[in-house]
Amino acid sequence: MANNGPAGDLRLANVTKRFGIFTAVDDLSLTIPQGSFFALLGASGCGKTTTLRMVAGLEQPTSGQILLGGAEISRLRPYKRPVNTVFQSYALFPHLDIFENVAFGLRRRRVKEIAGQVERMLSLVQLEGYGKRRPNQLSGGQQQRVALARALINHPQVLLLDEPLGALDLKLRRQMQIELKRIQTEVGITFVHVTHDQEEAMTMADTVAVMNAGRIEQLGAPAEIYEFPATAFVANFLGQSNLLAGTVTGTSGADLLIEAYGSRFSVPVERARVRQGDVHLGVRPEKLFLAPAGDPLPAGHQGVNGVVTDSSYVGVSTQYLVRTAWGAELAVFAPNTGIGGQVPIGTPVTAHWHPAHAFVLPREAGAGDRTAPILPDAVAAAS
């Protein structure tokens, strides 16, 4: 099969992987541009690790093709593919020092002039002077850097990262996110990163593919997916969303009109994935503001009345839950700017937002539908 993209692109063409009657990856097609940092994001069992293992050669596709730079690699043995993998477990050799761990691949290929290459790799991962130490003398973050150096020294066309930071504590994980992005930028190699951690994916990747049940639900830049999700699953997996079940009633100029729980809302048409029928009106918690119930809302804002039922101080913000009259709870993340105090539990409020910060999705059963009785007085319509 001919490659339609530049040489070096990684392409999966109609790749399916079945284990008996279970389909782990379902007719997956995507192109990962050469030199990009690409993240496969999804929950356990979504097919992301199986996809990675097929690229590595550790699993064979049931059908479809895997191409690298136009060359079919899906039938090549793992050691013949220009691909290396970094695992969560590091997989370092405990009996070898750091220098020899990094040099392992070169020695297997009987490469000469090893010392200079190893030292350059240790410098790249900021471990100069650590060559004589053993893995058990290093921290988890340092061991992960050694594993990265050992993979990169083989100059793969693609580096596969299988939950590489999962064993690290939060502070180390965030440090390594920055380091991995820096290293990828310096070496210019294609990184394909598998993770269930949305923060990891958004921090490091140029492009994120959100997987669900063996398929890609949405693919794009992190900001694009977060600000305008394509499905309710994406809206709630990449971050958190408030979803109001409503019905499209028409348009007014550049706005889509929606009725939900007895009141009318509007959303710019360009922010709507569908423009008719039953829909979800979505708003991210940080795009919501709280005002005392009955107070005028800012110009153009629309909102929902309710009562504060929970308050959690998490440093940069206070996270509130607001129970609506129809029984649903909306999440509101208020930044702790030092201006204004905390809103006490039990306070009647209006959670309000600007329509430009909302989005409209096709309504999916079980994805945030509100089944409690509709109570018209629960909603404050657009002001």
DSSP per position, 256-320: EEEEETTEEEEEEGGGBS--SSEEEEEE-GGG-EEEETTSPPPTT-EEEEEEEEEEEE-SSEEEE
For residues 202-217, give the mean pLDDT: 95
Please give the order of strands across the beta sheet that includes 215-220.
Answer: 83-87, 158-162, 190-195, 37-41, 207-212, 215-220
Residue 315: pLDDT band (50, 70, 90) is very high
| Predicted local confidence at residue 56, as pLDDT | 94
Report all structural domains of the chain as residue ranges with CATH numbers, in order of start.
10-224 (3.40.50.300), 240-362 (2.40.50.140)
Q: For residue 106, give Cα distances in angstroms to 109, 110, 156, 314.
A: 5, 6, 12, 48
DSSP string, 136-154: GGS-HHHHHHHHHHHHHTT
**How confident is the prediction for the chain on average, in pLDDT?**
89
For residues 16-33, give the mean pLDDT: 96
Cβ atoms of residues 50 and 59 within 8 Å: yes
DSSP letter at 381 equals: P
| Predicted local confidence at residue 253, as pLDDT | 94
Q: Look at residue 305 and tell me whether its pLDDT is greater than 90.
A: yes
The most confident of the ranges 91-95, 292-296, 370-374 is 292-296
The most confident of the ranges 52-66, 174-188, 365-379 is 52-66
Q: Look at residue 87 and tell me whether its pLDDT is greater than 90.
A: no
pTM: 0.86
105, two tokens: 């691949």
| Predicted local confidence at residue 7, as pLDDT | 54
Q: Look at residue 377 and tell me whether its pLDDT is greater than 50.
A: no
How much of the chain exceeds pLDDT 90, in percent? 73
For residues 317-344, give the mean pLDDT: 92
Q: Look at residue 319 and tell me whether its pLDDT is greater than 50.
A: yes
Residue 337: pLDDT band (50, 70, 90) is confident
For residues 3-17, give the mean pLDDT: 78
Q: Look at residue 55 and tell me whether its pLDDT is greater than 80.
A: yes
